[in-house]
């Protein structure tokens, strides 16, 4: 019987390529990680993927970065996706008021982000997540 690694998918919206790559490398053990910095591509990913969570750094993305949380939370198809705002600026009050599941102030260790993602996505944080699932 063939097996397939089936991990939950998350989207990281981060302008700094080094930070995005660091998070992608560390989180990819537990999640399928998509990264993006382009508004049109972000909207397409949101439309075409079943995301378990979004990690958003609004700083450095221009005006659309600051509005992305509102965009996600105002769309009936995406409003239930947990958004973790992970920013160099203290966006906690504004982010939580706008519907973020959690707001972190950088620097954020990948292990901290992983723990928060497990919590907001309600996936196991102990390595017991079922990874191999038979193909239908």
Is residue 9 included in any domain, yes or no? yes
Containing 4, the helix (H) or strand (E) segment is: strand 3-5
| pLDDT value of residue 92 | 85
DSSP E strand boundaries for 8-117: 9-13, 32-36, 51-56, 83-87, 102-105
pTM, two decimals, is 0.85
Q: Per-residue pLDDT for 130 more than 50?
A: no
Is residue 20 included in any domain, yes or no? yes
Q: Per-residue pLDDT for 126 more than 70?
A: no
pLDDT tens column, 19-28: 999 999 999 9
Is residue 130 included in any domain, yes or no? no
- Say how many domains are in the chain: 1
The Cα–Cα gap between 96 and 93 comes to 5
Is residue 133 included in any domain, yes or no? no
Is residue 60 included in any domain, yes or no? yes
Q: Domain range spanning residue 72? A: 3-121
Average pLDDT over residues 31-59: 95
What does pLDDT average to over the chain? 87
- Concatenated DSSP letters for 49-72? S-EEEEEE--TTS-HHHHHHHHHH
Is residue 132 included in any domain, yes or no? no
Is residue 87 included in any domain, yes or no? yes
The Cα–Cα gap between 56 and 68 comes to 8
CATH number at residue 99: 3.40.50.2300
Is residue 14 included in any domain, yes or no? yes
């Amino acid at each position: 019987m063939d097996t397939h690694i089936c991990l939950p998918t998350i989207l990281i919206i981060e302008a700094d390529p080094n930070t995005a790559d660091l998070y992608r490398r560390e989180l990819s053990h537990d999640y399928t990680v998509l990264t993006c910095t382009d508004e049109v591509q972000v909207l397409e990913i949101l439309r075409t993927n079943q995301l378990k969570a979004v990690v958003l750094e609004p700083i450095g993305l221009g005006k659309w970065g600051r509005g992305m949380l509102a965009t996600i939370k105002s769309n009936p198809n995406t409003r239930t996706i947990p958004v973790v705002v992970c920013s160099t600026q203290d966006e906690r009050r504004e982010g939580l008021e706008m519907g973020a599941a959690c707001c972190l102030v950088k620097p954020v260790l990948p292990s901290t982000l992983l723990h928060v993602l497990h919590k907001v996505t309600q996936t196991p944080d102990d390595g017991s997540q079922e990874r191999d699932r038979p193909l239908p």
